[in-house]
Structure 1
């Protein structure tokens, strides 16, 4: 994992197919790397804010992800909780693509 000015390269962009999500670990955090159908990459925490399930195992539908444990839904670009039982938003981190890598800026 490369680091530059607080940004961390977490995976090659071509490792995340369009309309898919993968789980990676960076700086001791499990992250979900989304490649949405509109081409946007988004990085969030991988754990559902309700049931601790891996969102990378969930159902991605356009720009929403359904948790595999209790079927709560999040809006991926904003992290907004969209349906019960989830009520707490999902952390979304600044993300960019550079030199073929997905880069994310994580809080200290």
Structure 2
């Protein structure tokens, strides 16, 4: 069963940045693109389980802070070694200045 969960306010994330959001036993990464769009992925790198919110965002790429693995946060696609497993992505909606993600 899925549910929409409020993750943060839109103003909590700067353009081309990421924040961490914890819900239940899961960690998510919430992104704001340079085009003012919002995205959500699993919050831990698929390589070493490091929090992606501590990483570096440029364009539509999140770079893991530990081994510099990169993912396209809009699709979850792994973009090269050492990461080879894609990130799970989650639907996002904006309502009244709040960012909601659909979680399981």
Rounded to whole Å, the distance in 1 between the matches of 2:21 and 2:101 is 11
Q: TM-score, normalised by structure 1?
A: 0.91
- Please name the residue that 2:102 is paired with: 105
Query: What is the aligned length?
Result: 103
Q: Does 1:56 align with 2:53?
A: yes
Cα displacement (A) at 1:73: 0.5
Contiguous gaps of at least 5 residues in structure 2: none
> 3-state SS of the aligned residue for 1:10?
strand
Aligned-pair RMSD on alpha carbons? 1.1
Shift of 1:8: 0.7
Gaps of 5+ in 1: none
Q: How does 1:18-97 map to 2 (within 5 A)?
A: 18-97=15-94
Return the offset for 1:58.
0.7
State the distance in 2 between where 1:10 and 1:97 align: 10
Moved over 3 A (4+): none
**Structure 1 residue 91: deviation in Å?**
0.6
Higher relative contact order (CA 8 A, sep 6+): 2
TM-score where L is the length of structure 2: 0.94
